[in-house]
Amino acid sequence: MVQKLIQDWSQGKIYQSFKFVFQIQFPRLNLIHWKTSLTALVRDNYPYLDDALEQLWKEPEKILFVFEDLDQFQKIIYFNDAERNAESQDQCLDPNCYCLITDVVRCLIKGELLKGCSILITCQTGKFDSLGITDVNRKVQILGFASDATLQYFQNYFRNEQTKSHIIKYIKANDTLYRMCYNPLFCLTLCSLLESPRPQGVQDVPLFHKTSTQAVSTYIVNLLGRSGYTFESCSEDLLKLGALAYDGCRKNLVVFNRNQLSSHNVNFANVITVLMMEIQGKDHETTVYAFNHFIIQHFLAALQRIRTTTGNKLLESLNAEHTTTDGRFTLLSRFLIGLARHNSTTKPNWKMTNVDPAVTKCVSGWLTNYSKRCDPNLEGKKSKETFLNLLYCFHEFGDAELIRDALSTRNTIQFMKYHLNVADCVILSSTLMAHDKLEELDLSCCDLPDEGIPFLLPVLHKCKTIRLNDNQLENPWVKQLSKVPMGIV
């Protein structure tokens, strides 16, 4: 955002009342352990303005200071300590006055130094309020992309028109992925995954062979890396955070108070602030905490379970999906299964997912038993819903041999009168491609979207019979289906 702002200013698009915009990053100010002045600070960052600074200070209203990442400033700024700040050595009222860097910043922000200049500060949500800075003209919270901006991002990223169209339709239909696309970094992560080549030797797999677990885990790796962390350096904190997240999933909580954080030995500092946010009450006295997104909460809960539980405890977490009726464990269980697969992220050296082979075997056995519990005839909406969830779990686990064995007795699969979206079509195709004995696929009366047909085509070629009646398909897709060597009803 800051880069865009400065670029637009330099091109004459915005803020033309300012002659100069000075960009200063708080993390770099952490390195200043000696007394300094505003003139020295600006001179160090903009040495070519050395001869002009004295003249600049005479017109402060034509200067904008942009301070980035206040939450990463490790020194204490005494905004509200009036007695201390009244001491002469702590007052920085002139650009050439030498003081501690904290006092230079404080006096500039409070308008006591270079009065009349404008200041823009970027800071993590919640941190700014705790500093007690008054006389703020405007506070703006960046919430991320709106839906139209998200789609524009994908349109700009991919050059191939057909690929672009397929990807946008798929992402919009995938609830887990689309909910995270408000975040530009997640969009970048997702685009990078989706443009990566398909596994060698399996070109007949659907375009979207990446899983939600891979997307979210890679995003968290990138997020931690950009904040200066590795899994080794913060694994303990992540597992504590995962325990809090799992407790929240069990109790259907998305907001936590300080006592709940303390009960799991979670301190709102360092790596925790990367994945959680502070929410200030209107009275500025009550503070609660929430994960940046509920999907992050479910992923960390799954990570904690896969890293700390085995045997019956792990099976208990997986079976929790079937003991509740509100679906609170659906996403968690899919992430848990995805984390149990071999090489569950695109970064094989990421130790977060180096799970015990016994855990993978346990999850594999659970999936086999789950498939046996599914209604073989798929009669009724509930049985179809349960079976589709099994396919989603298979997709996350990514074991073609397991799918083949588990579905070997199902020669016919029917979803008649069950609404299927584009994401469901992708899952059907990616999992049923491993089914060697599939003879008939009944998708009649499914409100099948036209956009889902391209994803289904690979698996349709495997079937002897496919039922698509009462789906109101457009002519172009009917022509595509006519090329499939099978019996269409």
For 240-288, the pLDDT digits (tens) are 999 999 999 999 899 999 999 999 999 877 788 889 988 776 555 678 8
Q: Residue 64 pLDDT more than 70?
A: yes
**Are 6 and 64 found together in one domain?**
yes
The answer to whether position 100 is within a domain reads yes
**Are 71 and 126 found together in one domain?**
yes
**Mean pLDDT in residue range 215-226:** 90
Q: Residue 119 pLDDT more than 80?
A: yes
Supply the CATH number for residue 36's domain.
Answer: 3.40.50.300
Torsion sign over Cα 156, 294, 370, 173: negative
pLDDT digits (tens, 9 = 90+) for 157-184: 988 887 788 888 888 888 889 999 999 9
* Tokens standing for residue 84: 């201390």
Residue (of 247, 151, 166, 158) closest to 195 by Cα position: 158
- When mean pLDDT is compared across 149-153, 291-295, 393-397, 460-464, the lowest value belongs to 460-464
In the chain, how many domains are there? 3
Q: Residue 487 pLDDT more than 60?
A: no
Residue 5 to residue 21: CA distance in whole angstroms:
10
Range of the domain at 425: 376-489
Confidence of residue 454 (pLDDT cuts 50, 70, 90): confident
**Could you tell me which residues come within 8 angstroms of residue 175 by beta carbon, excluding any fewer than 6 positions away?**
423
Of 164, 190, 210, which one is at a domain's C-terminal end? 210
**Are 112 and 20 found together in one domain?**
yes
The answer to whether position 186 is within a domain reads yes
The answer to whether position 397 is within a domain reads yes
CA 469 from chain centre, in angstroms, equals 39
Alpha carbon distances (Å) from 74 to 80, 267, 269 = 17, 16, 12
Residue 49 to residue 26: CA distance in whole angstroms:
21
**Are 196 and 80 found together in one domain?**
no
- When mean pLDDT is compared across 7-11, 92-96, 469-473, the lowest value belongs to 469-473
The answer to whether position 336 is within a domain reads no
Residue (of 105, 121, 80, 131) closest to 278 by Cα position: 131
**Mean pLDDT in residue range 371-399:** 92
**Mean pLDDT in residue range 1-6:** 90
Confidence of residue 328 (pLDDT cuts 50, 70, 90): confident
Confidence of residue 437 (pLDDT cuts 50, 70, 90): confident
* Tokens standing for residue 167: 């990807």
Q: Residue 365 pLDDT more than 50?
A: yes
Q: Residue 307 pLDDT more than 60?
A: yes
**Are 107 and 7 found together in one domain?**
yes
pLDDT digits (tens, 9 = 90+) for 407-428: 999 999 999 999 999 889 989 9
**Mean pLDDT in residue range 324-351:** 74
- When mean pLDDT is compared across 93-102, 243-252, 383-392, 445-454, the lowest value belongs to 445-454
Supply the CATH number for residue 381's domain.
Answer: 3.80.10.10
Q: Residue 395 pLDDT more than 50?
A: yes
Residue (of 427, 240, 409, 199) closest to 334 by Cα position: 427
Q: Residue 72 pLDDT more than 70?
A: yes
**Are 420 and 471 found together in one domain?**
yes
Q: Residue 204 pLDDT more than 50?
A: no
Number of other residues whose CB lies within 10 A of the CB of residue 264: 17
Q: Considering the entire predicted model, what is its pTM?
A: 0.76
In the chain, what percentage of residues exceed pLDDT 90?
A: 51
Q: Residue 28 pLDDT more than 70?
A: yes
**Are 100 and 43 found together in one domain?**
yes
**Are 6 and 118 found together in one domain?**
yes
Whether the CB-CB separation of 410 and 435 falls below 8 Å is answered with yes
**Between residues 8 and 317, the one the model is more confident about:** 8
